[in-house]
Structure 1
Amino acid sequence: MSDYKLEDEFISRTEKNLRAIEKLSREGESVYEVTQLINSLLGLLVYPRENFFDEIPEITRETMIKQGWPLPDEEISQIQNLRDLVKNMRNAVAHINIEFSANKNEIEGIRFKNYDIHDEGRKKPLWIGVYKLEPLKKFVNMLLARISKNKPLR
């Protein structure tokens, strides 16, 4: 199996697992949706990034807003297009630069941080974006749809 097919299969399985957890949650089962959401981000942003990152379109920020893409609240810097957002989120997830915001025991949102590769002490983030859970879920679903358009999933 070539890397291309393996990546497609991995993305497809990531989506299937995400849908299964969402379904179980709707049915009242005790599942960990946020954990699955982070696992899905690993499967969508980190694992396949090296080979198909350039295929992610540079949809402008303005077009993303018109198309209904949920954008994070940005504390530092501002993304210019979809590829920038994916790159920043990918780096945050891959390098474990994420923080959870919670109300009591419920996670409400996630802060993503991207640092310069030479900032070993992680003192000066290049970008910080914060997503509440529902907008993040929508982003993941829209990214899945976009990836599916670029590379057919089985």
Structure 2
Amino acid sequence: MEYDEMFERDFIARTLEIVEQYEKYIMKSVSETQQFEVTLLINCLLGLLIFPREHCFNSIPAKPIDELEEWGLSPDFIQNWGRHPGKLKSEKHYTLVEFVYRLRNAVAHARLRPHGNGVRITSLEFTDEHDFCAVVPFDNLKIFVTKLAQSVKPPPKFLRDFQ
């Protein structure tokens, strides 16, 4: 296996491990005012959302959102699907594939807005230029990106040139 094939898979796995280590070690050892788990997760979305979308897109299951409760997702999180991007095939509309595509765009273009209860950030709002809007509770976002990271597999190098 070539290094770059291992790098893609390992980058996703190591990013997930960073989040898990933070929760296991840091969250228990610092005061609540020094806990930055939302900041860490937003930073880690590169490895947990953008990287899987860019390098493993074909392995993302095209399941409808209403079938993804075990992924931490609910159709109620989506305020507006907006206009469907022309790059996305119609059979992928309203599925996990489109949801990942839309969240990736929101993160990559810094279209995130925190929602909170006056003390803590409780959810993140994701928007894109096609009027998509989803508000995902923080705990559900952690479940979702964990499942996504665990489920995607980068294609072999020789296949990437043909995608």
Q: Provide TM-score, normalisation by structure 1.
A: 0.78
State the Cα RMSD in Å.
Answer: 2.2
Within 1, Cα distance between the matches of 2:145 and 2:42? 10
Question: What is the CA-CA distance between 1:17 and the residue it aligns to?
Answer: 0.5
- CA drift at 1:25: 4.7
Displacement after TM superposition at 1:62 (Å): 3.6
Gaps of 5+ in 1: 117-124
CA deviations over 1:56-105 (Å, ceiling 9, x no partner): 1112234324x454236222127611111111110000110000112224
Match of 1:92 among 89, 101, 106: 106
Instruction: Show the counterpart of 2:43.
Output: 39
Identify the residue that residue 132 of structure 1 maps to in structure 2.
137
How far did 1:40 drift? 2.1
More helix by share: 2
Q: Quick one: which amino acid aligns to residue 39 of structure 1?
A: N
Question: Aligned AA for 1:12?
Answer: A
| Residue 70 of structure 2 corresponds to residue 56 of structure 1 | no
Percent same amino acid among aligned pairs? Answer: 30
Matches within 5 A, 1:71-150: 71=74, 73-77=77-81, 80-116=94-130, 125=131, 127-147=132-152, 150=153
Q: TM-score, normalised by structure 2?
A: 0.74
- Kept after mapping to 2: 8 A contact 1:25/1:33: no
Higher normalized strand content (fraction of residues) = 1
Name the aligned partner's letter for residue 131 of structure 1: V
Distance 2:58 2:65 in 1: 17
